[in-house]
Structure formats: structure tokens, C-alpha cells
Amino acid sequence: MRKADQDKSSQDWPHGFSFSTIIYNFFLEAGEPFQIPVFDYISQMGVFASIGNIVYFSPVEPQSTLMQYLSPSSLSGDALITPLDKKAIQLERKKLFAELELSGETTIEMNGRSFNKNDIIQYYEDLLKEDSLNYHAVIAEDPILKLFLETAHIGRKELFKNNPLYTNEQFINWISPYFSHAFSTYMNACFLDPDEDGLTSLMKNNLLMTPGDTEKSWEVVTRIVMGSVSSIEEYYKTPGSKMLIKVKDLMEFRYIRLVQLLPNVRFAPVKDKYAFTILQACVYTFNRNKQTGNYVSNWLENGQLLAASEDMKEQIRKKREELEAILAPMETGASAPQSAESSPWAIIKLIIFVVLLLARLATCHW
């Protein structure tokens, strides 16, 4: 797909709209099994991704291209050589200018990113700054950190190297904008397509950011989580505005687990707010349809696991007990009609057997 077509297609999708949701509801009501294909799509407008059977669109806030890390080794394909070779850097810059001129375009693609002339000038000026190339060399020796900075991805049980430089204030000031960009990008993608293993790994690593960038990065995550809370609230506060199928995945353990992994020091109030919202949604859902009891029970359990305070945990625990008290007679009564229906047939069979037996005895000669 051409870039122009990608941008146009992203504009045709309003926030929160899901064509697959409509299709899924049709087959759900018809009682037919149906599997929605999972896909992810990233454009300049935002990110398309699926959670369960729902496809979501999340707008991505525009960030400077230069804040996305690009290693000189990834750019040139050669290993970094220190100490700094200014002539080699200037030669590489001239080669890129020549490529840009020959292409006849205003930008050039490098390692999946677009650079214009000013971007190229800025990138190589940054390389010439004091200690910059040395820092790039350190990152090149830590492939997990390098991959995270360049692609905003981290896998299961992946840890950065234990390098003393990672606690150096000057190094932190230098790497912080790149790390913050990767962190925010990863969190957006992680909550769209839940990645518990990756988030667990990231939380076990040192977050190489200044206090200011750390605060901004957590604000990004807070907006993501509170956006989910708002969607659930809209479902039960404004009946008919949202279908259950559009919010139920936000109450499933796969998604709730991500919120649970966030540090309590900052997110305890957010977790309690989310847990309370789940509680309210469960009450609303069960009151509308008693057949949702088992689903509601699972969601309440997830809310209880998510809650940070003991008061909220206790509030949800009591509601779970109330629900179980209601569900128990319903489950017992479900089998009663079957017994009631089968008992007349048993009586009829017995009567027929007795009649046949008496007829047999009447025709028998002693």
C-alpha cells in the first residue's frame, strides 16, 4: 500500500469504530462461531490493533522524528569505531546528501525512517558532540537496549546490560529523549495488543530517563488507562452508547494484567478507579441480563485482583458473594425443568407396563 493510500485509509476510520465488531455481533447473535482476523496497522495518524475480537484505533501524538533513536551502525551497516573519526562522519554525511540529491525527493529513507536535509544535518551534528559517539558505541554493545530504542520492542525475560554508565547523569540526560520516545511508543502498542511478557521485562529494567521525561512517559500511560476507564463508564452511564462487546475485553484478565503490572507508587489510585468502574459495569450488565452471570463473575474477580487498596478489594469481594448467592439457585433451578418434564413420561411408561401385564395375566389359563 502506498503511503498516501495508508494515510487516506486511516482517515476513513473514526476513533473507536470497529467494522469487525459489527460482523462479530451479527454472528454472535446468530449463534454461529466466527473468528475475526487479528491485524495491526501503524500509520502517521495512529495505530490499528486488535484486542480479542475488537479492532481499536489509537491516535499517536506526533513526536519529533529525531527523538526515535537511530544507531550509526544501523545507518551505515558498519560497526562503530572509536575514537571519533570526524572525517569519516563528514564523508558519510556527504554521501547521504548526494543520495538525496540524486533521488529528486525531499526526504530519504534510512532504516525505516524518513530524513530531510535538515534532519541529516542535525543527526550528524549530534554525532560530533562530546561523548556522543562513545554513547552510541555503548548502546551498540547492548543489543537488547539498542533494539528497544530503535523499534520500541522488548521480549520475554530480556534485560539490558548492567553497565555502570547507565546510572551516569550525563549519559541519562543524553539517552533520555530516545528512551522516552521508545517507552511511550511501546506502551501505546502494548495496551492495544496486550504483551504481558514484554511489559514484565521492561518493568524489571532501569528506565533510562530523567525525572522530567519519566513523568511525561507515565502521563502517556495514565491517559491510555484512563481512556479505557472512560470507555467502560460510557457503556454503563449512557445506555446504548456502547455495546458490551466493545468494552468486555477491557475487563478481561489479559488486559487487566497490564494495568496490574504498573507501579503502585504512581498508579494505585488509577487501579482503584479502574476496579470500581469494572464493579459498576458488572452490576449494570447483570441487572440487564441474568444470563451474563458467569462472565460478570470473572470480571469481578479481575477487578478484585486489580484493586490496589484493601477497601476496594473488600467492596468487590462482597459484591462477588452477593452474585454467587444469586447464581447458585439459578444454576440449581436450571436442571429442575428437565426432571419435571421427564417425570410424566416415567408415569406413562409405568401405566403401560401395568396394563400389558394385566392383559397378559387375563389371557393366561391356569
State the angle between helix axes of 132-140 and 143-151 in degrees (0 to 180), rounded to the nearest 10: 110
pTM: 0.69
φ, ψ of residue 138 to 5 degrees: the values are -65, -45
pLDDT of residue 233: 95
Q: Nearest-CA neighbor of 146 among 179, 168, 174?
A: 179
Domain edges within the chain: 3-59, 65-209, 229-328
Residue type, 128: L
Q: Nearest-CA neighbor of 110 among 161, 69, 171?
A: 69
Helices (H), the chain: 3-11, 19-30, 72-76, 86-103, 117-127, 132-140, 143-151, 169-192, 196-204, 211-237, 253-261, 264-288, 293-306, 310-362
Q: Nearest-CA neighbor of 214 among 185, 184, 171?
A: 184
pLDDT digits (tens, 9 = 90+) for 23-72: 334 333 333 333 333 333 333 334 443 444 444 444 444 344 457 888 77
pLDDT digits (tens, 9 = 90+) for 293-306: 899 999 999 999 99
pLDDT band at residue 99, thresholds of 50, 70 and 90? Answer: confident
pLDDT digits (tens, 9 = 90+) for 20-36: 333 334 333 333 333 33
pLDDT digits (tens, 9 = 90+) for 250-263: 999 999 999 999 99
pLDDT digits (tens, 9 = 90+) for 165-223: 999 999 999 999 999 999 999 999 999 999 999 999 999 999 999 999 999 999 999 99
Q: How far apart are the first and last CA of the chain?
A: 97
* Cα–Cα distance for residue pair 237/94, rounded to 1 Å: 61
DSSP-derived secondary structure letter, 208: -
Q: Nearest-CA neighbor of 313 among 302, 328, 322?
A: 302
